[in-house]
Structure 1
Amino acid sequence: MRFRSMARHLSESFSSSSQPYLSYHDILLTTEDIRALKGDWLTDNNIAFWEEWLEREVLPNYPKARVVLLRPSITFLLMQTIDIKGISSALPDFRNVTHIFLPINDSRDRERADGGSHWSLLLVSVIDRVAFHYDSLGGANFYEAQRCTDRLGRVLGIPLRFHQLEDCPQQPNSSDCGVFVCILMRHLLIKRLLVAGSNEKVSMSMAGKMIDSHGGRKEMLRIIESLRKEGERRRSASPYAKPNTPPRIE
């Protein structure tokens, strides 16, 4: 099964049974995802949507970029599966890739991808063979990030050095870890990797970076609502649209 198909299948499988809200390419957001985004712990789908949006709206402006945004469900598979080689068909083609972003979840239950309680971000520089870990709750996901680094290194066939970023901005509460992951991901992608020259050394430090988690939630909601309105417009204009289906952008 191709990477995108597997990611979409797992994303939908791990979703709650709430009502569909927006179908955006390979991601199906539900009303439960929207509720979580307004003030709770972000779901797999929230983060997967953000990655999908960055891939569709940002990365096309940088055709030479070789960056992979691995979905939470695929990162979970990578960390929990016993046979790493057995999930090769679910993984993207990492050849010529320079950097990989991985949302890390602390769930250790192989049967529940949504069973954890904390998100952090792992950014792997394949060209430098270093994995940078950004944890907004101290070292809460230190073990999980190290495990993911080791397993990804085995997939890539290269040793990866693990580096915990001690200057990562810290969340002020128990629910904003996923928002921090999304904001840090976009900042590192747009402000660091995509604007750097081919021979330029990129700093991965987040020293002094301020995170507005409330503003981040509002911005993500604005993006979703804008896409939903566009999906509704397309649905109403199409003679082939099926009734009782969520607005769709594809």
Structure 2
Amino acid sequence: MADGDEIALSFHDSLLRLSDLRLLEGPRWLNDKIIGFAFEYLEREQFCDFSDDVCFISPEVTQFIKLSPASDLGIFLEPLNLHNKKFIFLAVNDNESCDSVGGSHWSLLVFDRNKGQFGHYDSAGHGNSRIASSLSNKLSTFIKVGPEVKCVDMDCSQQQNSYDCGLFVICNTECLCAQLLRGSQVSVKQAVTQDTVSRKRDQLRTLIVSLGNRGKEKS
């Protein structure tokens, strides 16, 4: 750990340091830790009443699924009970190397059991479409919808820079949860714009700082 890179927040399975928090201060690409925290907050706080219906798969687990042989996934995925979930959310990264971390783009993959298919929401065209389709096929055995499940590129707002893709994933996820779980009639393209995504940076940072301070007060 670098000097001065203290823990900013410990939230269930998420551990964020000051260096992670700084990614939200300016025009920077979000890492898997920030997106993982956002997914966990949606799961444990905002939409906790729907835990039987929805599964948020962390970026780290999604990367493991993507890079591992399908034959190795059973023991890892079976405890998630994906076959019982109505909706499954995954943050997709374009890094396909087993030997290096990183990547350059995030997109959102969502399984909807009512439709029997995956929807892929990509804020920068269709760059992650092949990866999303491959993930969908790998997961089809565990969600029990047949040998090969359809993956459809969905219409969504497009980012106006090279670094907001992770925030689009978070905002699109939040909007879709409101739709699918609470019946919101606002479309993803209406709700998630460059302006709302830009505001989400500050909102996330404020939330993390607030939760971190609350944790310090309890300790």
* Counterpart secondary structure, 2:23: helix
Alignment deviations for residues 7-66 of structure 1 (CA, whole Å, 9 cap, x no partner): xxxxxxxxx764322111111111221111222111100010001111111222346x50
Contact 2:118 2:151 in 1 (8 A): yes
1:123 partner letter:
V
TM-score (norm: length of structure 1): 0.78
Alignment deviations for residues 189-229 of structure 1 (CA, whole Å, 9 cap, x no partner): 02x11123xxxxx9896343442222001111111111011
Count of matched residue pairs: 210
Shift of 1:147: 1.1
Structure 2 unaligned blocks of 5 or more? none
Matches within 5 A, 1:171-210: 171-190=159-178, 192-196=179-183, 206-210=188-192
Contact 1:106 1:119 in 2 (8 A): yes
Alignment-derived partner of residue 33 in structure 2? 45
Contact 1:109 1:115 in 2 (8 A): no
TM-score (norm: length of structure 2): 0.88
Instruction: Classify 1:162/1:203 alpha carbon distance in 2 versus 1 (closer, same or farther; 3 Å).
Output: farther
Alignment deviations for residues 87-113 of structure 1 (CA, whole Å, 9 cap, x no partner): 33332121321110010000010233x
CA distance, structure 2, for counterparts of residue 207 and residue 61 of structure 1: 25
Tell me which protein shows more helix as a share of its residues: 2
Q: Alpha carbon RMSD of aligned pairs, Å?
A: 2.0
Instruction: Classify 1:204/1:21 alpha carbon distance in 2 versus 1 (closer, same or farther; 3 Å).
Output: same
* Counterpart secondary structure, 1:37: coil
Alignment-derived partner of residue 200 in structure 2? 216
Percent of residue pairs bearing the same amino acid type:
31
- Of 88, 106, 110, the residue aligned with 1:100 is 88
Structure 1 unaligned blocks of 5 or more? 1-15, 197-201, 236-250
Instruction: Classify 1:223/1:178 alpha carbon distance in 2 versus 1 (closer, same or farther; 3 Å).
Output: same
Alignment-derived partner of residue 160 in structure 1? 149
